[in-house]
Structure 1
Amino acid sequence: MGIVINQSFKNTITTYLGFGLGAINTLFLYTEFMSDTYYGLVAYILSTANIMMPLMAFGVQNTLIKFYSTFKTKNSLNSFMTLMLFLPLALTIPIGIIGYISYDSIANWLSQKNDIVGDYLWYIFITALAMAYFEVFFAWVKVQMKTVFGNFMKEVFHRVGVMILLFALYLEWITVEQFLIGLVGVYVLRMLAMLVNAFYIRLPVFRFYKIDKLSSILKYSSLIIIAGSIATMILDIDKFMLNNYIEIEKVAYYSVAVFIATVIAVPQRAMHQIMMPLTAKFINDNNREELKDLYERSSLTLYIISGFIFLLIVLNVNELYHIIPEEFSGGISVVFLISIAKLYDNLLGNNNAILFNSDYYRMVLVFGVILAISAIVLNMILIPLYGINGSAVATLIAVAVYNTIKVIFVKLKYGMQPFTIQTLKISGLLILCVLVFYFWEFPFNPYINITLKSMAIGLVYAYLIYKLKVSADISDMFNTYLRLKR
């Protein structure tokens, strides 16, 4: 457990550091140093590359982790690892050839609303390829129980690189075209650094012997492609589709709003590494009592923590938008809608861990496909009517329906659900705080107002959470802190 706790702690620190750097880039540097049109283009390139990444990786990043420990001899393991290195090429090469042959047709389709997009298709392809192989090499070290460097590269490295490029753009050391080339270069460099680290930890030995589990491996990889594509699609399909309906600078406004709301997801990402192995153990041991307890406790803990972040965001959003350029203020409604979606994600606790470690994994993929189709259809209907707000509504509806289906499915198959009377108390507290604090503003500059209001919200929220005794885990943390202060 020592190595797990140690690496989890370090990974949590780098995750928060990465989000902090991302906030500086997203809210201040991009908005001040780059035109809205090119900012929207950057958001589009990265979102589209992110959508393509699971397909180009061929699910190898998950397949490697699942099957690595099942190979007991050196020859069989080396053959498996060789397959994992080359398997992504089975899709990336055909995609590249199709892109080369059909470049003009694809460019014309994607440029119907914004002509600028058509000139940067190869930037998308190269970035997606770099993202895909980064995940492969990260998985390569994960199976060796070495995750700290990879997590730093995943969360921090590219954001530092982007920050350097943005300052270089501001100082006129580079042009915006050179910035875009540098952006792609940052992701390629990140992939190469991960490659060096992976091969330093475990140097590949190329073997092309027959693999006994080949059909199972390919079947699992194919299913994981669907799962990974759905997960990333829900995060980025809105920005991809917005390009086809509205001016590309509005994609930048939407991206800023979504990033602000996505901060709510940080606690879930930090706890995910802990909840996955615990959930798998309880399911494998058929320990329903402990599984139910973890389900409820993880839901409560994440709801309390993410609820506090939710309050800080929605209650300070007006002041926050006074800090960044005025034209971005159209994204305030998007912040509210996506924040609710992210809060609902946290409310589910370890629901995903239960489903993905259960025998019902394929059913989850069916739900995911339905969700992806729903999100696309809703975006097609709502974006032309309401612009970026319509896309946010589409995302909220799709996520709400998907999460509700998952809760019902676990209830039917396992006879448990994460909600308790304490969930209602927390919901009531969140609503009360929104009603009390939303229209309460201090007469100072935005930075002071955000600081003072956040302190007031924090004190009231912490006091009421402690007094209401909604979570034994949170109460124990408070009691430990209070004993130390005495």
Structure 2
Amino acid sequence: MSVVARQGFKYSLIGYFGFLLGAVATYLLFPQNFDFYGRLGLVLSYAMILTPVVVFGVSFSNVKFHEIAKKDNKHQNLLSLSLVFVLGNYLFCLALFFLFFFVFPQYRDSKMWNLKQFILPLVLLLSLSAIFNKYISNFKRIVVPNIFENIFPKMANIIAFILFFYFGFSESASFLFFLGIFVLALIGYYIYANSLEKITWNYNLDFLKKEKLYKDIFNYSFYGFLGNIGYFIAIKIDTIMISEHYVNDKETGIYLTLYAIVALISIPQLGLFNISAPIINKSFAENNMEELDRFHKKTSLSLFFLGAVLFSCILVGFPFLTVYIKNGDLLLESEPVIWIIGSAVLIDLLTGFNGNIISMSKYYRFNIVIMVALAFLTVLLNFYFLKNTTLGIIGIAIATAISLTLYNSVKLLFNYIKFKVHPLTIELIYTSLICTIAITIVLFLPIFENNFINLIYKPAVLLMIIFVGNYFLKIYPLDQYLNIKFIKNMLKF
């Protein structure tokens, strides 16, 4: 097995483990105290939005210009200068941060200011980690960085929450342990990078001056910065706007918990880009748009079908699941959030890797433009629903769903106009109809007094209806993935 194949397999395992870890914490741990969980999520969300400003896309340049630098044995020179830039830019942004709140003291009642002692150190830790993460990827190593990037933040949330809720630590002490996990991650990044190739620090600027390479690096970093900050604003601004709008953080905790439940739908997306990238590249290289179109349709159907099945199970089982979750009644009151966000995520799955097609074409700048547009649209819609309606987090969910749907629709239309490829097939309609019929039937089935029976039998009946419908309509080739010969014989009988 090649290095890439081994790394891809291990990466997927880590991804599923991380999701399982997050799911267990979401269902059993965090609902114990939505207020503290909301503050944890708020600190991380603020830090993730500010990190791209500090990094300014330099992490991406460590990948783009790695081979050029390596030819002159200057790749560690590039790494060293990148880290120095991040440190310098962090100090500059830090000065702007305090200057802003000095000039506009009326904003000091914001949670961003009140939690600055945790947000600002985390920004520095995430920024330095981002440089090491991209640098390590040049060695075709993605598993260990994935642990630091995805598992460690989940562990930070879990450990801080346990210390606060079960061991009676103060909120400040719990947050210090929270930050400590990210310190360990940064140390881990350095140790692992050094084990791949001993790091020798080099701060000479001659390499950047050669043929004015610094201009190319700046331009590329700037586009990376725009795309990255647009992405994080789009996916994290809802958490911030909820928390800043409400007096307490309970709504933020509820929203984060519901969002984590919906995230189950996205499991089929794990590793999609790594799988699709070589095929997209090959199709563009050979100008074979027919093959790209075929692969696009096939992949989108797989993602949508599996996501729709998972989403259907969540919808019919969620009311009974909340009985076994602490404060589950609060989650049940906001159940529309799951229906709204889940539907938008399904549309995202339906459109497949349309963003990857644009990113790997000569029109890659368009992807950045619409990502920034998505960020602004999300902010405006969130602001509208919070200020002009009483929908609360349901309004935030509607805003997010509208933005995500428009974003994917624009990309889908762009790909069809430029490349004549799209993911739409009749099988997608069949999938929607079967799942809708199955959900409708199951919702009208009798409800037993025992919630555990309801939690098991309703999703089971739903799966049987979808399975039978899929068998006769031949939407998705489940027989290629499951050993269902016995069941097929039963159906024929």
CA contact (8 A) 1:253 1:330 kept: no
Q: Distance in 2 between matches of 1:459 and 1:357?
A: 40
- Counterpart of 2:245 in 1: which secondary structure? coil
Q: Distance in 2 between matches of 1:4 and 1:137?
A: 19
For these two proteins, the number of residue pairs brought into alignment is: 479
Which of 67-76 and 399-408 deviates more? 67-76
Give 1:143's aligned amino acid: N
Q: Distance in 1 between matches of 2:315 and 2:428?
A: 20
Give 1:462's aligned amino acid: F
The residue that corresponds to 1:393 in the other structure is: 398
Q: 1:105 to 1:244 in 2, by over 3 A?
A: farther
Q: Distance in 2 between matches of 1:343 and 1:329?
A: 21
**Matched ranges for 1:329-478 at <5 A:** 329-384=332-387, 385=389, 386-440=391-445, 442-471=447-476, 474-478=478-482
Give the CA deviation at 1:379: 0.9
Q: Distance in 2 between matches of 1:18 and 1:139?
A: 20
Give the CA deviation at 1:300: 0.6
Give 1:304's aligned amino acid: F
CA contact (8 A) 1:108 1:118 kept: no
The reply to whether residue 210 of structure 1 matches residue 212 of structure 2 is: no
Give the CA deviation at 1:44: 1.2
Give 1:156's aligned amino acid: I
- Aligned with 2:176 (options 178, 181, 190): 181
Give 2:138's aligned amino acid: V
Q: Distance in 2 between matches of 1:446 and 1:87?
A: 57
CA contact (8 A) 2:265 2:311 kept: yes
Give 1:412's aligned amino acid: I
Q: Distance in 2 between matches of 1:440 and 1:61?
A: 53
CA contact (8 A) 2:266 2:349 kept: yes
The reply to whether residue 83 of structure 1 matches residue 84 of structure 2 is: no
**Matched ranges for 1:233-272 at <5 A:** 233-247=233-247, 248-272=249-273
Deviations 1:428-465 (A, max 9, x none): 12211221223436425444432333333333323432
Give the CA deviation at 1:310: 1.1
Q: Distance in 1 between matches of 2:369 and 2:155?
A: 38
Q: 1:443 to 1:402 in 2, by over 3 A?
A: same
CA contact (8 A) 1:227 1:368 kept: yes
- Aligned with 2:123 (options 124, 128, 143): 128
The residue that corresponds to 1:111 in the other structure is: 109
CA contact (8 A) 2:227 2:369 kept: no
Deviations 1:306-341 (A, max 9, x none): 111111222222122223302333321111111111
Unaligned 5+ residue runs, structure 1?
A: none
Q: Distance in 1 between matches of 2:273 and 2:452?
A: 33
Give the TM-score taking structure 1 as reference length. 0.91
- Counterpart of 2:424 in 1: which secondary structure? coil
Q: 1:440 to 1:51 in 2, by over 3 A?
A: farther
Give the CA deviation at 1:164: 3.2
Q: Distance in 1 between matches of 2:172 and 2:131?
A: 29
Give the CA deviation at 1:42: 1.6
CA contact (8 A) 1:267 1:305 kept: yes
Q: Distance in 1 between matches of 2:189 and 2:426?
A: 46
CA contact (8 A) 2:152 2:182 kept: no
Deviations 1:393-433 (A, max 9, x none): 00011111111000000000001111011111112122112
- Counterpart of 1:87 in 2: which secondary structure? helix
CA contact (8 A) 2:108 2:114 kept: no
Give the CA deviation at 1:90: 4.4
The residue that corresponds to 2:56 in the other structure is: 58
CA contact (8 A) 1:40 1:252 kept: yes
Give 2:143's aligned amino acid: V
Give the CA deviation at 1:200: 1.8
- Aligned with 1:145 (options 118, 121, 140): 140
The residue that corresponds to 1:196 in the other structure is: 191
The residue that corresponds to 1:225 in the other structure is: 225
Give the CA deviation at 1:107: 7.5
The residue that corresponds to 1:21 in the other structure is: 21
Q: Distance in 1 between matches of 2:310 and 2:414?
A: 28
- Counterpart of 1:231 in 2: which secondary structure? helix
Q: CA RMSD in A?
A: 2.5
Give the CA deviation at 1:218: 1.2
Unaligned 5+ residue runs, structure 2?
A: none
Which of 340-349 and 404-413 deviates more? 340-349
Q: Distance in 2 between matches of 1:270 and 1:141?
A: 18
The residue that corresponds to 2:31 in the other structure is: 31
Give 1:81's aligned amino acid: L
Give the CA deviation at 1:111: 2.8
Q: 1:312 to 1:405 in 2, by over 3 A?
A: same
CA contact (8 A) 1:234 1:372 kept: yes
Give 2:316's aligned amino acid: L
Q: 1:313 to 1:270 in 2, by over 3 A?
A: farther
CA contact (8 A) 2:439 2:462 kept: no
Q: 1:312 to 1:73 in 2, by over 3 A?
A: same
Give 2:441's aligned amino acid: V
| Overall identity of the aligned pairs, in % | 23
Q: Distance in 1 between matches of 2:469 and 2:73?
A: 60
Give the CA deviation at 1:16: 1.4
Q: Distance in 2 between matches of 1:426 and 1:398?
A: 24
